[in-house]
């Protein structure tokens, strides 16, 4: 596993998206190009008219990616939210790439998505924050409904497990873990470690890189990318470790 310091992690993040460091405006231009390309793919019949579960899952994550990309422009001068968006795309990439590998994976993801909704409803019903009533009689049928809800609850893989199974543990350990510090409010005291960095450019470069990979996953859905190809696009193959 990579054992670099926080400063070294920052250096890796800064070089992840491209071999040549670009300006903020140049990164934003590339984000625009990738967002527009994803929108164009979403309109292609191979996605818009497909009934295959894998295509539906890919389409879902492509649509999420276009929205994240658009949001990038609305908060272009805010560093912390940009890192949060980068983390969202990173997690989406893990799941989308894993789902692209097979119809079985895509089907498993679909069940897990339904399961998460079922667990949320179950939790609120059990804690009496919500009730289920019969439309005709108005009777409270929560107790009768709960067993049916349990049928939709399934065991899920963690994001770390998905990243490891997909061969993307480097991305998880270096990018996802770091960006998670921002998401969970755990960067207090770290500002002194990065005075020389343009954090906004780093965050937008990561967003751009993830959008580019998501686009490539979509374009190669019939012959999924290898993990090495994904790492190459992210410029992370040279990093030591598995």
Report yes or no on whether pTM surpasses 0.75. Answer: yes
In a domain, 135, yes or no: no
Q: Could you read off the pLDDT of 77-88 as tens digits, one per residue?
A: 999 999 999 999
Q: What is the mean pLDDT of residues 206-235?
A: 95
Looking at the 3D structure of the chain, how many domains does it have? Answer: 1
In a domain, 28, yes or no: yes
pLDDT-derived band at 123 (thresholds 50, 70, 90) equals very high
Residue 12 pLDDT > 50? no
In a domain, 133, yes or no: no
> Which among 20-29, 188-197, 209-218, 230-239 has the top mean pLDDT?
209-218
Percent of the chain with pLDDT over 90: 73
pLDDT-derived band at 192 (thresholds 50, 70, 90) equals low
pLDDT-derived band at 196 (thresholds 50, 70, 90) equals low
Q: Could you read off the pLDDT of 142-183 as tens digits, one per residue?
A: 999 999 888 889 888 999 999 999 999 999 999 999 999 999
In a domain, 148, yes or no: no
Give the model's pLDDT for residue 238.
Answer: 87
Write out the residue range of the structural domain in which residue 57 sits: 6-120+163-233
Give the model's pLDDT for residue 43.
Answer: 94
Give the model's pLDDT for residue 59.
Answer: 97
Joined tokens for residue 17: 């998206």
Give the model's pLDDT for residue 15.
Answer: 46
Residue 242 pLDDT > 60? yes
Give the model's pLDDT for residue 25.
Answer: 87
In a domain, 155, yes or no: no
In a domain, 136, yes or no: no
In a domain, 125, yes or no: no
Q: Please say whether the beta carbons of 235 and 16 come within 8 A.
A: yes
Q: What is the mean pLDDT of residues 53-81?
A: 96
Joined tokens for residue 179: 């960006």
Q: Please say whether the beta carbons of 9 and 174 come within 8 A.
A: yes
In whole angstroms, what is the distance from residue 91 CA to residue 88 CA?
5
Question: Which position has the higher pLDDT, 20 or 6?
Answer: 20
Residue 141 pLDDT > 60? yes
In a domain, 142, yes or no: no
pLDDT-derived band at 188 (thresholds 50, 70, 90) equals confident
């Amino acid at each position: 596993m990579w054992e670099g310091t926080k400063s070294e992690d920052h250096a890796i993040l800064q070089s992840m998206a491209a071999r040549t460091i670009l300006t903020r405006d140049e990164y934003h231009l590339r984000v625009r190009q990738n967002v527009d390309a994803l929108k164009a793919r979403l309109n292609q019949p191979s996605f818009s008219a497909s009934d295959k579960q894998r295509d539906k899952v890919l389409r879902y994550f492509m649509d999420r990616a276009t929205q994240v990309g658009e949001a990038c422009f609305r908060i272009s001068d805010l560093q912390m939210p940009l890192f949060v968006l980068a983390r969202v795309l990173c997690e989406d990439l893990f799941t989308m790439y894993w789902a692209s590998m097979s119809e079985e994976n895509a089907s498993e993801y679909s069940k897990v998505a339904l399961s998460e909704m079922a667990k949320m409803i179950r939790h609120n019903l059990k804690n009496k924050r919500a009730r289920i009533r019969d439309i005709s009689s108005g009777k409270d049928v929560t107790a009768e409904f709960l067993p049916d809800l349990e049928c939709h609850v399934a065991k899920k893989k963690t994001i770390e497990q998905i990243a490891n199974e997909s061969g993307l543990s480097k991305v998880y350990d270096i990018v996802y873990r770091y960006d998670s510090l921002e998401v969970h409010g755990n960067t207090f005291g770290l500002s002194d470690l990065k005075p020389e960095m343009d954090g906004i450019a780093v965050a937008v470069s990561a967003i751009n890189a993830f959008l580019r990979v998501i686009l490539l996953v979509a374009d190669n859905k019939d012959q999924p990318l290898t993990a090495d190809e994904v790492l190459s696009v992210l410029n992370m193959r040279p990093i030591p470790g598995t």
